[in-house]
Structure 1
Amino acid sequence: MQIEIPIFRQISRDLSLPPRAFQVWRSAIEFLDVVDWRELKQMAIELELDVDQSTVSRALAVLVDRGYLCKLAEIGAQPRYRVPLSRVDPVAPSTPPAASESVVTTHLTSRRTRARVVSNGVV
């Protein structure tokens, strides 16, 4: 039985995606997974495609912005990536709770704001 992952169909039909970003995506998925967050060795992509580091970085930023890759950036660590099953659901099922909580709590400054966010179901 073969299982279709929607992200592959979605990226192949996205005609507005820059060709270099598509090439980087094709190379990156060899190192990534749809469940686990993994470090991406940009040097391997640079060597495979014969491009410089800034080209790979720009392409990865485009892929993250468009929802073709998910990026988890933790303070003091290399960013980790994963391939979402679909652009509709870019949130990873294995996102560490501490990472998502720290993003919310660092931007909330007063008790009133914190109470509003909790009552709206954000936290």
Structure 2
Amino acid sequence: MSAAHVDRYGRFAVDPTPEELERFFFLDAAALKEARDKRRLHNRLGWAIQWGTVRILGTFLTDSGPADVPQVVVEYVAHDDPAGQSLRVGGDVVAYGEQVNQLRGRTQGLLAFFR
């Protein structure tokens, strides 16, 4: 793997298109329930961002965490969808990423959800 590939691994090289946002970050009923079950707003938002990131990138975010995702992703996940399929939260995605000691548990939780 080249140095450029290593630098881009687990990161967004460009902003996702509207079609990619819809395909990878739209929360189906099960994902929406799982995200809404999180206690704090930033955990709901962070979980949904991680969920979509695994789907679009094929891996979990690198150490930078959800704070390093494009703003269009955060806005898409947190928006108030007329169909009622969004989280309807304005949680602080940075707060989600600051809890590094919980990252392993979150990763395992997401893996269990995908199974």
Could you say whether these structures have the same fold, taking a TM-score greater than 0.5 normalized by the shorter chain as the test? no
> Taking CA–CA contacts closer than 8 Å with sequence separation of 6 or more, which of the two structures ends up with the larger relative contact order?
2
- The TM-score with structure 2 as length reference comes to 0.36
Q: Which has the higher strand share?
A: 1
- The TM-score with structure 1 as length reference comes to 0.34
